[in-house]
Structure 1
Amino acid sequence: MLDFKEQEFRTQIGSAVGLRPQIEELVDLLQQQGIDNVLLVGSGGTYAQMLPYEYWARRMSTLPIRAAISKELVESGEALLSESTLAVFTSVSGTTADVLEAIEYVKAEGATTVAFTGHPDSAIAKAVTHSLVSQPKTWPFDMQLLLLIGRLLSVRGEFSDYATVAGELMGLPDALLSVARKAEAQAETFAAAHKATDYHFLIGGGPLWGFTYLFSMCILEEMQWLRTTRVNSSEFFHGSLELLEDDTSVLIFKGEDETRVLTERAEKFAKRISKDVTVFDTKDYELTGFSPVTRALIGPIVMDTVMDRVAKHLAKVRDHSLDIRRYYRVMDY
């Protein structure tokens, strides 16, 4: 597979799901403290990655759990922020300035802070109350967030499938490796066909909306300098559909949750207009040993693995490294 380090991949995924005992111990401690609201705080990709868990909690729990953009939180505040707030942060580098500022902001209000990162000596790891460290460069953070929110809901009596889901997550290293291998052919084909495409229209919904936002903004825009439109499948028929033409590159992300029907509705319409619709569907992957409830929840993790293959091939055919930036962390702002 192109630019894929199998052992490193296994180790990183394994280290993330291996945090389960620490996460469960932490949640039990937080329950004793009387945590009564949760902020999932990030910037850019890490904010987008919080969205599935806000969405999930909104459906399952009466515990206020919301995703917040670091800088906006600092400037606008949060009415529930107090000594009984749990604020959760993630950072690959452990150095994101907006996240560090947000940590200090919520700490000043008495919040308990938790960070998931791959660098135990980073500024973010040192700034929080509780730091849970996986292997360096571990991405995504969905496994840790799924365990954390799942355990929180479980101890509140709002998620009876937690033990099943948490147990099945231990099989992710092998399962996601199989996903990556199967996705390679579609990724190579897509990249070859879209070497010169300078605009993509992305559709996803429910727990995959955060990933749709992430791939559009972080990969295609930030890392490839391509223009995009992204729309939640539930909102597709309220504006953005007017941008479709017969040659528009449309990327559709389909999961196995209750909003799949909304994405399929958008897919059917898009295919009536455009001759260039590519569907990425978690149902196409076997995921042996994973129950339907878990398959729905790990949609963002599976899709991240699939689209990582697409990103690598797209970068190759376009001769545009995923690592170069013009402005981000290059210019002051």
Structure 2
Amino acid sequence: MKIQEEAKQVVQKAVKKMKSGGGIKQVIWVGAGGSFGGFYGANYFMHQESKTIFSNMYTSGEFIYAPPKSIDQNTLVVLCSMRGTSETIDSAKVAKNHNATTIALYVDESELVQICDFKIKYESLALDESRLERVNGSIGICIAMNLLEQVEGYKNFEIAMKTFDLLDHIYRKAVEYTIPLAKEWAEQNKDQKTIYVIGSGPAYGAAYVFSICNLEEMLQLNSPTIHSYEYFNGPFEVTDKNKSIFQLLATGKTRPEDERALKFEQRFGGKKLYVLDGKEIGLDDIEPAVSPYFNHPIFSSILNNVYMRELSYTTHESYETRRYMWKEDYK
């Protein structure tokens, strides 16, 4: 079954379940690390397109300790965890205790799947054989689009659903295109201890995941994530010719923010300024009306599977190693 149809069926069941209690008034996206970051695309879509459904994101820990008072029978909570992170499981319990309806995104079955009302299995972004429309970020967007279509109507729904069939092909072409570019970038940055990642709008989530999951977790490098507009409200003061800056250029309405940041970086930055443009990695092959909403899965997959890997190969540091994760007690 295609992910479009699977997401449609799950959302239909959730909408039906919630109808007697007044219907869906808000959707909350919950996860930890890359599972949390993967929901940026879905949340961004809802903010841009929905008139009646409030949408927000919470890390699993914050959702446990400080859940919003608005959670009730009119709330849909979508939770993501690859293997069943304990805090995400506890977040599902909090959601259920507040009478919310829940959907679990998962790879390996865990207590999360047992607690939640509905479930969708996804494929790990980090595996080469995974199809891009089946990774967690893509499924989150598909859920959001189906939710909007069923509750309010979404005029570009059919175009968006057809786009999911194109994603994997676009991604594979982008991998071929970026590998030689990433090798050159990695060689320039093999001795760098800090890499600034800058982006905005529909690509900000990909910038965030690249920083915390790829560069910091996997390669143990310092990597602040900076919003392209907020760059001018402090962070641009550290720009100089020795800094390593990785700028994402998104497609969509917020692109001028990225271009403004890039213009300044080109004036005062150096040879370690790098630009990854969504138009060059296939986002311009998607209908402009929906293209911005697919920035996240395409950028995130390229950053993880091309740029992070090439930097790992160049530095001879395995991206499988960890200092603390899964080794030290941090519960």
Distance 2:154 2:231 in 1: 31
Distance 1:283 1:246 in 2: 26
Distance 1:72 1:296 in 2: 28
Point out 4+ residue stretches in structure 1 off by more than 3 angstroms. 134-140, 286-289
On the 8 A contact 2:196/2:244 being kept in 1, the answer is yes
Structure 2 portions without partners, runs of 5+: none
Q: Give secondary structure in 1 for the equivalent of 2:253.
A: coil
Distance 1:88 1:57 in 2: 13
On the 8 A contact 2:32/2:60 being kept in 1, the answer is yes
* Cα deviation, residue 242, structure 1: 1.1
Q: Give secondary structure in 1 for the equivalent of 2:237.
A: helix
1:11 maps to what in 2?
A: none
TM-score, normalised with respect to structure 2: 0.90
* Cα deviation, residue 294, structure 1: 2.9
Distance 2:94 2:258 in 1: 38
Distance 1:198 1:134 in 2: 33
- What's the RMSD between the two structures over aligned residues? 1.8
Q: Give secondary structure in 1 for the equivalent of 2:233.
A: coil
The amino acid of 1:35's aligned partner reads: I
Which residue of 76, 80, 96 maps to 1:107?
96
* Cα deviation, residue 257, structure 1: 1.1
Which residue of 114, 121, 146 maps to 1:126?
114
Which residue of 54, 66, 74 maps to 2:43?
54
Q: Give secondary structure in 2 for the equivalent of 1:55.
A: helix
Equivalences for residues 1-333 of structure 1 within 5 A: 18-32=2-16, 33=18, 34-61=23-50, 62-92=52-82, 94-119=83-108, 121-135=109-123, 140-275=135-270, 276-286=272-282, 290-307=286-303, 308-333=305-330
1:12 maps to what in 2?
A: none
On the 8 A contact 1:200/1:229 being kept in 2, the answer is yes
**Structure 1, residues 268-296: CA drift from partner, whole Å, max 9, x if none?**
01111111210001101346862112322
The amino acid of 1:108's aligned partner reads: N
On the 8 A contact 1:60/1:158 being kept in 2, the answer is no
* Cα deviation, residue 30, structure 1: 2.4
Count of residue pairs the alignment pairs up? 315
* Cα deviation, residue 131, structure 1: 1.1
Distance 2:181 2:172 in 1: 15
* Cα deviation, residue 124, structure 1: 2.2
**Structure 1, residues 120-163: CA drift from partner, whole Å, max 9, x if none?**
x3332222111111346657412111111011112233521011
On the 8 A contact 2:278/2:284 being kept in 1, the answer is no
The amino acid of 2:119's aligned partner reads: S
The amino acid of 1:110's aligned partner reads: N
Distance 1:72 1:228, change over 3 A: same
The amino acid of 2:237's aligned partner reads: E
Distance 2:136 2:121 in 1: 11
Q: Give secondary structure in 1 for the equivalent of 2:114.
A: helix
TM-score, normalised with respect to structure 1: 0.90
On the 8 A contact 2:4/2:164 being kept in 1, the answer is no
Distance 2:40 2:282 in 1: 25
On the 8 A contact 2:283/2:294 being kept in 1, the answer is no
The amino acid of 2:196's aligned partner reads: F
Distance 2:123 2:257 in 1: 37
